[in-house]
Amino acid sequence: MIKYGKRGHVQQYKCNECGRRFSGGEHRDKAQVITDYIEGKQTREQLAVKYGVSAKTISRDLAGMRNVRKISRDKCVVIQMDTTYWGRHFGLMVIKDVLRNKVLWRKYVGHETVADYMEGVRWLEVHGFRIYGVVIDGLRGLAKALHPYPVQFCQFHQMLIVRRYLTREPDLDASRELLGLVNQITKMDKESFIGMFNEWYGRYKDVVNERVHDKRIKRKTPPYMRPRLRSAYLSLKRNMPLLWTFYDHPEYGLPNTNNGLEGVFSDLKTKLRVHSGLSREHRKKFIDEYLSRHY
């Protein structure tokens, strides 16, 4: 018996003795196997049952994923940059085009550094991209490194920083009012927010700046009584100029948060959750294939 050909997705066979032709077995399209794995919610074992082969055969089909990075032809961009993690030492750093929702550059990292982000920016520059603005998270030193590009500090990340210092349900009136103000930052204009922030500080500056009154402390300057409240205040004060770049320069088209990029990360993690237990290399292949198909 020899395989004679195929019609649609069904294999055609020919008997060597009688010459009779008949069909049997479903043709397995490797590209479709990869699509089912990436786009669907089917594990390798489920795909093996679907196609009537072993899980090892499905693994060999998936090994055929060969992602090719394409350089976008749209060279005038506003970019978002951030890093997401799976575990403590496996992260994906991404730079995305805000206007076209395209991932322009990515890198696998153990932890995020200013040098890695700047590597991505230099890559864009070398490939002819003109960057009109950048949205960043709270990584210290990154805004300075990106000078002279217009930089927008993600307002949502600023909210998270303040929440981390004050908790979600602080006890002090000063902390509760500051947290309530920060939680409204994405819904307010610059003048209103800064005005209310200054009013808050005017009412509570003694609370923010109060030091510990204890003669047993031998330090020349005693520590602050409420260091976490003070840190939350100073974080806002320090980042205030970068929180409103989008407002001061509407011509750049900067968003005020990194939520668009967070959506990409959330989508990717939802897909990967179906395939728990992947090795690091297989996870990288999945991520590369999924991003190249969707972003």
For residue 184, the model assigns a pLDDT of 97
Q: What is the pLDDT of residues 178-188, one digit of tens each?
A: 999 999 999 99
The DSSP bridge pattern shows strands 10-14 and 2-7 to be antiparallel
Enter the pTM of the model: 0.82
For residue 3, the model assigns a pLDDT of 47
For residue 4, the model assigns a pLDDT of 44
For residue 1, the model assigns a pLDDT of 47
For residue 66, the model assigns a pLDDT of 67
- Taking the C-alpha atoms of residue 101 and residue 94, their distance in angstroms, rounded to an integer, is 12
Q: Are 285 and 65 in contact (CB under 8 A)?
A: yes
Is the link from the previous residue into 227 a cis peptide, with omega within 30 of 0? no
- Rounded to whole angstroms, what are the CA distances from 140 to 10, 83, 133, 152, 245? 59, 14, 18, 14, 18
The DSSP bridge pattern shows strands 130-136 and 76-85 to be parallel
Residues found in the chain: 295
Segments in the chain below pLDDT 50? 1-9, 25
For residue 224, the model assigns a pLDDT of 92
Closest of 201, 202, 162 to residue 185, by C-alpha: 162
For residue 216, the model assigns a pLDDT of 73
For residue 26, the model assigns a pLDDT of 56
What lies within 8 Å, CB to CB, of 94 at 6+ separation is 81, 82, 83, 84, 103, 105, 106, 261, 264, 265
- 280-294 vs 259-274: helix crossing angle, rounded to 10: 130
- Taking the C-alpha atoms of residue 29 and residue 115, their distance in angstroms, rounded to an integer, is 43
